[in-house]
Amino acid sequence: MPSLLALLTAALLASWAPLPTEAGSWWSLAMNPVQRPEMFIIGAQPVCSQLPGLSPGQRKLCQLYQEHMAYIGEGAKTGIRECQHQFRQRRWNCSTVDNTSVFGRVMQIGSRETAFTYAVSAAGVVNAISRACREGELSTCGCSRTARPKDLPRDWLWGGCGDNVEYGYRFAKEFVDAREREKNFAKGSEEQGRVLMNLQNNEAGRRAVYKMADVACKCHGVSGSCSLKTCWLQLAEFRKVGDQLKEKYDSAAAVRVTRRGKLELVNSRFNPPTPEDLVYVDPSPDYCLRNDTTGSLGTQGRLCNKTSEGMDGCALMCCGRGYDQFKSVRVERCHCRFHWCCFVRCRKCAQTVDQFVCK
């Protein structure tokens, strides 16, 4: 019989054991902020081997590029926020459920929603790393070295310090795809199909950021004469990236894996997806009821719009279960007046409004 001390020791070791790789995702870096590299103290602060959700390949990259990890976390957080904005009025609203898997079991289904989540998260990493390069936060990159656009007028200067989207794209591809590329499933299996789906959607997210980066310019001269113009490469606002990826979600293609280990369209009448398009392998749940097996949170208790006929309307959001009405007090700024010079003073007005929640 093992001694009590041995049993206690085993229990302690089990409680401190690292989480299994598949129990989480690198998205968990958004929920568990990573310290800046100068804050790492050996033996006192978490190191790559202790960060939850990383695959073996991602841990190796973490060791090589430790200063990047905080920005990967910021990129994941940006992606999650954008996902929640884009789906705020839909049955599935991109809710986070814990700090390890982030979205929970719903990501085990290869649905349109999962496709969007992979794409927008990868896009967030490109965005964060590209900006960190420009701001001089990373030792391995700096300002963008993109060649001067051919259509830029000759008397405009090309330079400035642009967002390094080339480096951001390459690093995000290496890091985000590492988890998928180290998996080895049988060719033509459902598991391989899901890996190919994830890789396609990761790439679509990265390309959205890369292709939407554009030239920005600033005028110089006496009294705003704009006698000289300096231009550089600048990332698009991430909201625009999210809007484009939402359009790709709406037109996402249903695919399946072939025996040769390639993705093909379920309906061959449609055009094959480009690297910028989203794909999915499983139909979406209706997300109406809570289901712990699929990870659906259901729509009970969700606010809905009684007058809307869209997805945010009570008829669709509540899945025919009906809704309850209650009154709430909303405090808003009102009676605002401009005072010389130069500020605006407002009052606060309380207004009683009707709200509706799904049964």
Reported as a single tens digit per residue, the pLDDT across 134-143 is: 999 999 999 9
The dihedral of CA 104, 109, 115, 116: what is its sign?
Answer: negative
How far separated are the first and last CA of the chain, in Å rounded? 54
Residue 73: the pLDDT is: 94
pTM, entire model: 0.86
pLDDT (mean) for 31-50: 64
For residue 341, is pLDDT > 50?
A: yes
Please tell me the class of the 300-358 domain. Answer: alpha beta
34/349: higher pLDDT: 349
| Whether 239 contacts 78, CB under 8 Å | no
Pairing type for strands 279-280 and 343-358 reads unpaired
The overall average pLDDT reported for the chain is 88
pLDDT (mean) for 257-266: 94
Q: Where are the domains of the chain?
A: 27-38+47-298, 300-358
Largest CA distance in the chain: 89
Reported as a single tens digit per residue, the pLDDT across 93-119 is: 999 988 888 999 999 999 999 999 999
pLDDT band at 46 (very low <50, low <70, confident <90, very high): low
Q: Return d(Cα 74, Cα 147) in angstroms, integer.
A: 28
For residue 299, is pLDDT > 80?
A: yes
Q: Return d(Cα 359, Cα 355) in angstroms, integer.
A: 13
For residue 307, is pLDDT > 80?
A: yes
Residue 7: the pLDDT is: 39
194/43: higher pLDDT: 194
| Of the candidate ranges 115-119, 160-164, 217-221, 265-269, the one whose mean pLDDT is the lowest | 217-221
